[in-house]
Structure 1
């Protein structure tokens, strides 16, 4: 009888372990990630190697199982999000990853352009097509186009930007057929696709893709950024600062450990991101002395305000600095004393 009880208990334990670990729930869990030095990731030819450190910050995210779901209700800075808030309609895990990696590529492109302009170094960029970020599952492009395709022509007419693509399709109506020329896996392909009204905008017809412009950037000196498998646009500001620091003779860090987050556009404007509290925690763990947070022009619910609350909650001595532009960050760094 005792042996039978042991067997039942063992089987029950195995089943519970399986349920807690392997059964996925329709949620994602996020938590503090890492704060890592950008110096090993950014390589400007003959660039300076400075005493201080500029760090990007990340958030860890994964599909929730029962164990992580329960932890998210008791651990500080663990957050739960319904799957539909993370992934777009009809988006596979692979498509989601590709979209995040492309957002990182855009962030790097903008960071390079901003940093080289500010440093007075030669930089040029030419648009080379409309990159497909996502495809709506109930629209005509589904099954014909994929996330990662680069659209270079419509009806034989070359296009360089996503704006050109949107403008061309705006002149079409539902039922019109459009010949789409795109590059996938290095090969040029074509597909003829009939336009259909958007479910949420029945007065507008389209393919059902979200396009963004992809650029070919040339710089002097050359620069390479190895972002590994980090996705999303939130490292844009910190990449631009690291590139700039390697381009100019001064050390803008003045020997300090500087972390931060925020998107950046071609004009050097800094935008908000998700998970700022978790990034503050990650930066504090790595001993950062300063943390740049998007100010959102003083909005009451800005990333900066949230970062301030988190800094107070964890009792960090790290200085939280609001920034709206690349220039704001540079001005603050130049105002710091040498370490």
Structure 2
């Protein structure tokens, strides 16, 4: 066999071996790609995304699109070839696996966490939108979760309303831990609660809660490696009663990042006229009950996905602005927002044609 032919054959075989190794060897990386974008003012799978009953609503045109990111599953690792392709591709992003999924987290646990965050984002979006419209929303502190094998197990239950701790009224979830940690581990703490069943019955029947219970729990010592402190083993959260029904119908979506766009969609449907003036606006951002907008992950994938669907403006959490501005899709304007008022002001500028006044994310 001629030397040149042998060399070419050897090189080809080496490339094949390297390719096979690249396809077979897993890496410690995951991949993010643009996910679906859904108009909160429209329909998804034939159903309106926002269902509002018991209050007057108004027609709304244009787009207020929430955006998503697709990620590989917690149990999947990119092979070397896929990782290299992702690093080179513009519409993909390869990131360390542990930045998306904490060590040891299963796909089931990840899905559950995303579902809980999505549900909470819907609640906060409703509260923020209604309060922006001066529509009263009743709120109270509740037991969100009870940790297994802790003092609270079997005494407190998810959904119990916490009225007071040691006789001191609680107004925010953080008040609960502050009052519990005043104790030394092993001391007793008294929770004044409305049982979840009583609270649910009162809401269902439209009546006042008839009574509370005082429950005594012996605190335990924290075991998280930090400074020892008294705990009972619960996470406190906030629940709400709304004066009318606001339902968000959107399956197969998780995480908290659609909060801002849900709030804007609800606000638009409850007010005359059009927030967008017919423009195609997309965006992202968490939102809390007070309307503060927080940062999210995968911002560059969301801007790419939004522009591909036709968005011209993208409402961007101010803490994501620097990252988003590193690679702005052609034809897309990144609008910086810090809270719901900022977003409403920006939408007013868009519909009134004052786009030169928009607070933009500057290019890096």
- Normalised to the residue count of structure 2, the TM-score between the two structures is 0.69
**Per-residue CA distance 1:273-303 (angstroms, 9 max, x = gap):** 11111110110111001100011xxxxxx31
Match of 1:214 among 227, 233, 238: 238
- Deviation, 1:193, is 7.8
Contact 1:245 1:252 in 2 (8 A): yes
2: distance between equivalents of 1:141 and 1:92?
Answer: 23
1: distance between equivalents of 2:339 and 2:313?
Answer: 16
1: distance between equivalents of 2:304 and 2:77?
Answer: 23
Map 1:79-228 → 2, pairs under 5 A:
79-83=94-98, 85-88=99-102, 91-120=105-134, 122-127=135-140, 129-132=142-145, 141=150, 149-150=158-159, 152=161, 162-175=173-186, 195-207=220-232, 211-220=235-244, 222-228=245-251
Q: Which runs of 5+ in 2 are unaligned?
A: 1-16, 42-47, 201-214, 354-364
Contact 1:130 1:165 in 2 (8 A): no
Q: Which residue of structure 2 aligns with residue 29 of structure 1?
A: 31
Contact 1:177 1:195 in 2 (8 A): no
Contact 2:64 2:261 in 1 (8 A): yes
RMSD over aligned Cα atoms: 3.9
Task: Please state which structure has a larger fraction of its residues in strand.
Answer: 1
2: distance between equivalents of 1:331 and 1:140?
Answer: 49
2: distance between equivalents of 1:149 and 1:26?
Answer: 37
Contact 1:35 1:55 in 2 (8 A): yes
Residue 66 in 1 paired to residue 74 in 2? no
Q: Which residue of structure 2 aligns with residue 317 of structure 1?
A: 331
2: distance between equivalents of 1:195 and 1:218?
Answer: 36
| Higher gyration radius (CA) | 2
**Per-residue CA distance 1:164-221 (angstroms, 9 max, x = gap):** 431342133334577999979x9xxx99786233333133243566x2413123134x
2: distance between equivalents of 1:155 and 1:92?
Answer: 36
- Deviation, 1:246, is 0.2
Contact 2:28 2:78 in 1 (8 A): no
Q: Which residue of structure 2 aligns with residue 50 of structure 1?
A: 60
**Per-residue CA distance 1:110-146 (angstroms, 9 max, x = gap):** 21122122234x33122251313x96xxx9549x69x
- Deviation, 1:60, is 0.8
Q: Which residue of structure 1 aligns with residue 309 of structure 2?
A: 286
Q: Which residue of structure 2 aligns with residue 8 of structure 1?
A: none
2: distance between equivalents of 1:206 and 1:92?
Answer: 27
Match of 1:254 among 277, 285, 310: 277
Q: Secondary structure at the match of 2:254?
A: coil
Contact 1:293 1:303 in 2 (8 A): yes
Residue 334 in 1 paired to residue 336 in 2? no
Q: Secondary structure at the match of 1:310?
A: coil
Q: Which residue of structure 2 aligns with residue 78 of structure 1?
A: 93
